[in-house]
Amino acid sequence: GLTRNFSSSTSLNAIKTVTIVGGGLMGSGIAQVAAQAGQNVTIIDINSDLLGKAQKSIQTNLTRVGKKLYKGDEAKINSFVQESFERIKVSTKLEDGADVDLIVEAIVEKLDVKQELFNKLDQISPAHTIFATNTSCISVNAIGSGIKRKDKYGGLHFFNPVPVMRLLEVIKCDSTSEETYQAMMEWGKSVGKTCITCKDTPGFVVNRLLGPYSAEAIRMLERGDASAEDIDIAMKLGAGYPMGPLELADFTGLDTKTFVLSNMFEKTGNPVFKPIPLLDKLVSEGKFGRKSGEGFYKYDK
């Protein structure tokens, strides 16, 4: 009776409708995992071509997931893909995505653009809507500084590729209410992620630790202490990492790596994040890693 209702009150408030603003690399992945979990999703992007691209990539990825889940059962694969896909709507108008339980922002990494977006959403969304940013490098607090519903705001930091990476960093700001925090944790779990809780500090947990580690791997190569291949083999076989630091940097993109390191240096002042001449040289030569065909390694295009 009453006690049971009370104890399950968090599930009663469970997030069932979600809007993702920004349908790029991260936004399309976040939309996919939410749709797969049975939620109704709206993707908003200012660029309608990108919305079409997002839909295409989501369909391809859903097929891959469906094949894994329902090995060989074509009927089940097709209905999984179709049903998940049909839960996703797309629009270029923010208003079309305002009235939902949760809005996750995954637009360009620019403070003023993100602030402007949340300020507008704060005006047009109902009072119960929770807001979250997927920012990697900007202060979550700063992004939400102009909104009134600070208790209903926090960070949800996913990892690329979203459908594959199992971690979600849930960022609880000082102003995030316990109820909002619980709802974000519960939602993360519902989309298949393992959630960790962290404060609004530069790099949160993963990037704060990964930065110094990968920077030192690059410096090690720069000093000629060991070859790229041997550094990667060492960390895979000696430390149990699935990828070595240099192949991981090539995978993420060396331009992104440079950006993240300089941002962390600016925010923390920690010299481990200082510019690395070898990394800057590769980037200036257009060697961005896997996506450009060359980074620390060469790739077939």
Query: Which residues make up each annotated binding site for NAD(+)?
Result: 22-27, 45, 109, 114, 136, 160, 291
Q: Segment near ligand NAI (CB under 6 A), from 32-40, 58-66, 156-164, 241-249?
A: 156-164
As a whole number of Å, the end-to-end CA separation of the chain is 62
Q: Does 44 bind ligand NAI (CB under 6 A)?
A: yes
Rounded CA-CA distance 61/67 in Å is 10
Check residue 224 and give left, alpha or beta (phi > 0: left; psi -120 to 50: alpha). Answer: left
DSSP 3-state assignment of 205? coil
Work out how close the CB of 158 gets to ligand NAI at its nearest, in angstroms, rounded to a whole number. Answer: 6
Q: Does 36 bind ligand NAI (CB under 6 A)?
A: no
Task: Return the bridge partners of 171, or none.
Answer: 155, 198
Find the length of the chain: 301
Q: Pick from 161, 185, 159: which is nearest to 171 by CA?
A: 185
Question: Could you say which of 8, 9, 10, 25 contacts ligand NAI (CB under 6 A)?
Answer: 25
* CB-CB contact of 121 with 133 (8 Å): no
Q: Binding site: which residues?
A: 22-27, 45, 109, 114, 136, 160, 291
Contacts of ligand NAI in 106-145 (CB under 6 A)? 106-109, 113, 117, 134-136
Q: Pick from 132, 113, 114: which is nearest to 30 by CA?
A: 132
Contacts of ligand NAI in 45-104 (CB under 6 A)? 45-47, 50
Q: Segment near ligand NAI (CB under 6 A), from 124-132, 152-160, 184-192, 230-238?
A: 152-160
Question: Could you say which of 158, 181, 187, 204 contacts ligand NAI (CB under 6 A)?
Answer: 158
DSSP letter at 193 equals: P
CA atoms within 13 A on the CB side of 265: 13
Catalytic residues: 136, 157, 169, 207
Q: Segment near ligand NAI (CB under 6 A), from 61-69, 151-159, 197-205, 285-293?
A: 151-159
Q: Which residue ranges make up the site for ligand NAI (CB under 6 A)?
A: 21-27, 44-47, 50, 106-109, 113, 117, 134-136, 157-160
